[in-house]
Amino acid sequence: MHNHTVFADGKNTVAEMVQAAYAQGVRHFGISEHSPFPAFPGGGMRAEDLSSYIAQMRQAQAEYRGRMEVYLGLEQDIDSPAITEDFDYLIGSVHFLKKDGQYYPLDYSEEVFLKVLKEVYNGDIRSLIYEYYRRVSEVVKVTNCDMIGHLDLITKYNEDERLFSTEDPYYRSCVTDALDVLVPEDRIFEVNSGAISRGYRKTPYPQKWILEELHRRKARITLSADAHHRDNVLYGYPEMTELVKACGFTEIQVMDQGKWKTITV
Ligand SMILES: [Zn+2]
Ligand SMILES: [Zn+2]
């Protein structure tokens, strides 16, 4: 349900992504392009492309009817203007920090992340962590999303814990404070392999201890590839399935016949 195309930062068209998914045996496939983000050009699809994106998705839906269910999604950034169009589902994500009216991308590149940490947060990773999770805790309230996108995105450039220890109690309390708000809102948390396929991480978002915490709190989850290339639409599914089972999950959510449904893993 979490995939991208050339309408934003993906490498393939809607038609190519859908065709690749079908060829790989997928039978329920959603694309969730990045919402327009006029305040930060390049931060999402162009507002003027929104109607073509919807039209191409509806066309793909019609073309594959009876063979594969195609869903029109949107990855709605918390700072994007509210949308008025109808989508089959929304993923709510935080990609930016905001300070004094300026937006600072979190996942653009490691160089940019380190620059933001140094120049905007005076090198204080804890204030950046706090600010990220404070914003994440508002993502459902602001976007009314079905799915919460890549929780823990701030660990993208923290492989081997080079920026902070994920055992730091301060960091962990920021995460659990956000879960205190988000879990009762009863949305679906995604387990996302996107940073692995693109070479940034060895494990999916969120980390195992967070998945265990989500399981303890009886949260619902889904698996997604956050594919930006047609070869990656099923990236990491066997590994993610093993991981969530090891964390105690026996069920995940999938969209079927236009509704979220629980299946056993
Ligand atoms: Zn995202
Ligand atoms: Zn995405």
Calculate the alpha carbon distances from 200 to 109, 158, 169, 184, 221 in Å.
10, 9, 24, 31, 22
> What global pTM score does this model have?
0.97
CA of 59 to the centre of ligand 2 (A): 22
Distance 218 CA to ligand 1 centre (A): 24
Residue 219: φ, ψ to 5°: -80, 160
The 10 Å Cβ neighbour count of residue 123 is: 11
pLDDT at 41: 84
How far, in Å, from the CA of 44 to the mean position of ligand 1?
10
Q: How far away, in angstroms, is 114 Cα from ligand 1 center?
A: 19
Ligand 1 centroid, distance to 5 Cα (angstroms): 13
Those residues with Cβ within 8 angstroms of residue 51's Cβ, 6 or more apart along the chain or in another chain? none
Q: Which residue from 217, 149, 147 is spatially nearest to 187, judged by alpha carbons?
A: 147
pLDDT tens figures, 140-151: 999 999 999 999
% of the chain exceeding 90 in pLDDT: 98
For 178-233, write each residue's pLDDT tens digit. 999 999 999 999 999 999 999 999 999 999 999 999 999 999 999 999 999 999 99
What is the distance between the alpha carbons of residues 92 and 196, in angstroms, rounded to a whole number? 20
pLDDT value at residue 174: 98
Q: Ligand 1 mean position to 135 CA, how many Å?
A: 14
| CA of 58 relative to ligand 2 center, distance in Å | 20
* 261 Cα: distance to centroid of ligand 1 (angstroms): 23
- Ligand approaching nearest to the C-alpha of 8: 2
